[in-house]
Amino acid sequence: MNTTLIEYLPYILCIAIICTGLYGTTNSSNYLKKLVSLSILQSGVILFFIAIAKVKDGQIPILACLDFKQCPEQLINPLPHVLMLTAIVVGVATLAVGLALIIRIKEEYGTIEENTLIEAEQND
Partner 1 sequence: MIERYLDIAVLVLVFSIAVMIVRSKNLFTVVIMGSIFSIFCALIYLIMGAPDVALTEAAVGACATTCILLASLKHFKEDTSLSKWRVISLIVFITLFVVLSYFTISIHPYGSVDAITNKGVVEYYKQTSGNEIGLLSLVNAILASYRGFDTFGETVVIFAAGLCIILILGTKNKINNEK
Partner 2 sequence: MKNKVLITVTRFILPFIIAFSFYIQINGSNAPGGGFQAGVIMASAFMLYSIVFGYRSALTFMPFKALKILAILGIMLYGGTGIACMIMGGEFLNYNMIRNNLTTGQMLGISVIEWGVGLTVFATFSLGYYAFITRGGNEHNID
Partner 3 sequence: MIKNLIALEIAIPILIGAANFINRKRGLAYFLTLLTVTASFVIAIMILLHSLTTPSISYHFGGWAPPIGIEFKITRLNALFLVVVSSSALLTFLYGKQILFREIHKRKISPFCSVFLICLAGLYGIILTNDFFNLYVFIEIASLATYALISIGINRNAIQAAFYYLIIGTIGATLILIGIGYLYIASGTLNIDDFIKNFAQIKHLKTVKLGYYLIFMGLFIKSGLFPFHSWLVKAYKNTNSFILPFLGSISTKVYILILLKLIYLSFGTEYILHNNILQPFLIVTGVLAITVASIIALYQKDLRSMLAFSSISQIGYIFIAISIGTKASMIAAIIFILSHIIAKMALFMVCGHIYYYKNTYNTEGLYMLFKEMPYTVVIFLINAASLIGIPLTFGFVGKISLISSLIEQKMWFVLAAVVIASFITFKYFWNFSEVFLFYKKYMPKEQAATKIEVIETKFSIAPILVFTLLTFINIGLGLSFNKILLAAEKLLI
Instruction: Kindly report the backbone phi and psi dihedral angles of residue 29, in degrees, each rounded to the nearest multiple of 5, phi listed first.
Output: -90, -20
Strand partners, 37: none
Applying CB under 8 A, among 9, 19, 51, 85 the residue interacting with partner 2 is 85
Rounded distance between C-alpha atoms, residue 114 and residue 31, angstroms? 7
Rounded distance between C-alpha atoms, residue 106 and residue 62, angstroms? 47
Q: With CB under 8 A, what is the number of residues at the site for partner 1?
A: 88
| Partner whose footprint covers residue 74, from partner 2, partner 1, partner 3, none (CB < 5 to 8 Å by kind) | partner 1
Residue 97, judged by CB atoms within 10 A of its CB (0-12, 13-18, 19+), counts as exposed
Question: H/E element holding 88?
Answer: helix 79-109
99 binds partner 2, rule: CB under 8 A: yes
Rounded distance between C-alpha atoms, residue 14 and residue 70, angstroms? 37
Q: Min. distance of Cβ 27 from partner 1 in angstroms?
A: 5
Q: Convert residues 52-81 into a mask of x (bound to partner 2 by CB under 8 A) and - (unbound).
A: --------x-x-------------------
Chain residues binding partner 3 by CB under 8 A are 18, 22, 25, 31, 34, 38, 41-42, 45, 48-49, 52, 79-80, 83, 86-87, 90, 93-94, 97-98, 101-102, 104-105, 108-109, 117, 121, 124
Q: Which residues bind partner 2 (CB under 8 A)?
A: 60, 62, 85, 89, 96, 99-100, 103
